[in-house]
């Protein structure tokens, strides 16, 4: 008999199935592990089905099929049909590469509920440059296919210094494409974005200008298309309630079967994340040291322990704390109460200084500094 769940731990509501780290795009802000080459094993279809069944039995209701590019998995339709049969609400999170009319129809027949399509910009030049692919026209066609087949559609665009000046045009583009929801996700600095942060980070003024444009469009749209502006937490100096709290609502399952509290957690040292190839989802969620490590408030120290905000931000982001301070248990360094806030301010100042240099050089052709070996082609 499985052990009864601890009363204070709620079941996971959201399961993110990262079916593969493979991806045809090479976005400079990708949150895939930078050492993804070490994690190329992928679960087979029957193991995924078992995991989905266990998660659903535990209480999960929302399921995202993500990656990498989940359309690279030939068993995607089979997994969608299985998930639908279990009663999940299913969402495909995709670059659009590989989503022609026939596949969109097959996924619809399998029971797919919802599609989130990424764009990198409203211009072909920047979209294609940021992703190192010629995909702008393809994505535009895919958006039309999604709408023609009656799916609810979210457009997602990761925002950074290069496309923030286009924010109004991105909103117009999403409106023309019939998006139900537009997510303007300011870059979160993990994975490849962390390595490219000096090139991607906008100035505070650029963020404020863009936010004002977003607010004006929201008023104009009057709810016809929802526009989400994901807080640029470095500039806002406000810890985000990352994953609604570690081990609180979300479980991410990596392509090789590791269960993670967030998509970036596997880079944290000294944590043995449960492997769902041999561990039941229930045990991973309730009993693993990994999911209990930063659950609740008992781990909080320094400024977080007696902060009034801890019920709202859950201590912010552990991955960010680790990347910036070297200590995953430290106060999120974006917080003004963190003793490390100066490091964030220094990065913002550096971004400002670098922009001045670029303006002086007037060299927009290749402004991004790519990390050597950054190609993610499998």
Is 23 annotated in a binding site? The answer is yes
Contacts of 254 (CB under 8 A, 6+ apart): 18, 21, 39, 260, 266
Length of the chain, in residues? 378
Query: What minimum distance in Å lies between the beta carbon of 262 and ligand FES?
Result: 3
- Residue 323 CA to residue 239 CA, distance in Å, equals 15
SS3 117: strand
First to last CA, the chain: 42
Single residue of 155, 242, 253, 344 touching ligand FES by CB under 6 A = 242
- Residue 303 CA to residue 331 CA, distance in Å, equals 6
Contact assessment for residue 284 and residue 9, using Cβ atoms and an 8 Å cutoff: no
Q: Can residue 317 be called a binding residue for ligand FES (CB under 6 A)?
A: yes
Return the closest-CA partner of residue 376 out of 18, 16, 33, 17.
Answer: 33
Which is closer to ligand FES, CB of 190 or CB of 229? 190
Query: What minimum distance in Å lies between the beta carbon of 374 and ligand FES?
Result: 20
Strands (E) in the chain, as ranges, are: 14-18, 62-66, 89-94, 114-119, 153-159, 181-186, 226-230, 250-253, 259-260
Is 319 annotated in a binding site? The answer is no
Query: What minimum distance in Å lies between the beta carbon of 154 and ligand FES?
Result: 20
Query: What minimum distance in Å lies between the beta carbon of 331 and ligand FES?
Result: 13
Which is closer to ligand FES, CB of 162 or CB of 294? 294
How many helices (DSSP H) and strands (DSSP E) are in the chain?
Answer: 15, 9
Which is closer to ligand FES, CB of 135 or CB of 156? 156
Residues 251-280 that bind ligand FES (CB under 6 A): 262, 264-265
Query: What minimum distance in Å lies between the beta carbon of 159 and ligand FES?
Result: 17
- Residue 65 CA to residue 111 CA, distance in Å, equals 13
Which is closer to ligand FES, CB of 73 or CB of 318? 318
Q: Across the strands, what pairs with 33?
A: none
- The region of 17-25, 131-139, 215-223, 317-325 touching ligand FES under the rule CB under 6 A is 317-325
**Binding site feature residues for [4Fe-4S] cluster:** 23, 27, 30
Which positions touch ligand FES (CB under 6 A)? 190, 242-243, 246, 262, 264-265, 317-319
Residues belonging to the binding site are 23, 27, 30
């Amino acid at each position: 008999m499985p052990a009864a769940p601890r009363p204070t731990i709620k079941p996971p509501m959201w399961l993110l199935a990262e079916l593969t780290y493979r991806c045809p795009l090479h976005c400079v802000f990708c949150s895939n592990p930078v050492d993804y080459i070490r994690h190329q094993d992928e679960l087979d279809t029957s193991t995924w089905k078992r995991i989905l069944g266990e998660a659903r039995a535990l209480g999960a209701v929302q399921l995202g099929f993500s990656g990498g590019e989940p359309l690279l998995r030939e068993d995607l339709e089979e997994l969608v049909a299985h998930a639908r049969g279990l009663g999940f609400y299913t969402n495909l999170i995709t670059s659009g590469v590989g989503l022609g009319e026939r596949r969109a129809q097959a996924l619809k027949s399998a029971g797919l509920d919802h599609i989130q399509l990424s764009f990198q910009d409203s211009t072909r030049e920047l979209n294609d440059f940021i992703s190192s692919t010629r995909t702008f026209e393809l994505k535009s066609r895919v958006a039309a296919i999604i709408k023609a087949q009656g799916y609810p559609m979210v457009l997602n665009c990761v925002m950074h210094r290069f496309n923030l000046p286009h924010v109004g045009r991105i909103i117009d583009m999403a409106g023309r494409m019939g998006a139900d929801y537009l997510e303007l996700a300011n870059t979160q600095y993990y994975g490849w974005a962390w390595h490219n942060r000096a090139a991607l980070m906008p100035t505070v003024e650029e963020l404020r200008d863009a936010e004002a444009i977003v607010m004006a469009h929201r008023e104009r749209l009057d709810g016809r298309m929802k526009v989400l502006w994901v807080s640029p937490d470095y500039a806002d100096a406000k810890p985000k309630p990352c994953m609604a709290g570690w081990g609180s609502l979300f479980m991410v399952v990596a392509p090789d079967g590791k269960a993670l509290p967030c998509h970036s957690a596997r880079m944290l040292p000294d944590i043995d994340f449960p492997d769902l190839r041999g561990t039941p989802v229930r045990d991973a969620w309730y009993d693993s040291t990994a999911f209990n490590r930063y659950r609740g408030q008992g781990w909080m120290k320094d400024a977080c322990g007696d902060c009034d905000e801890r019920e709202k931000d859950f201590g912010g982001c552990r991955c960010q704390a680790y990347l910036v301070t070297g200590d995953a248990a430290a106060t999120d360094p974006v917080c003004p109460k963190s003793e490390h806030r100066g490091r964030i301010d220094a990065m913002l100042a550096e971004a400002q200084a670098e922009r001045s240099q670029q303006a002086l050089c007037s060299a927009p052709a290749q402004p991004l500094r790519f990390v050597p070996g950054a190609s993610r082609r499998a």
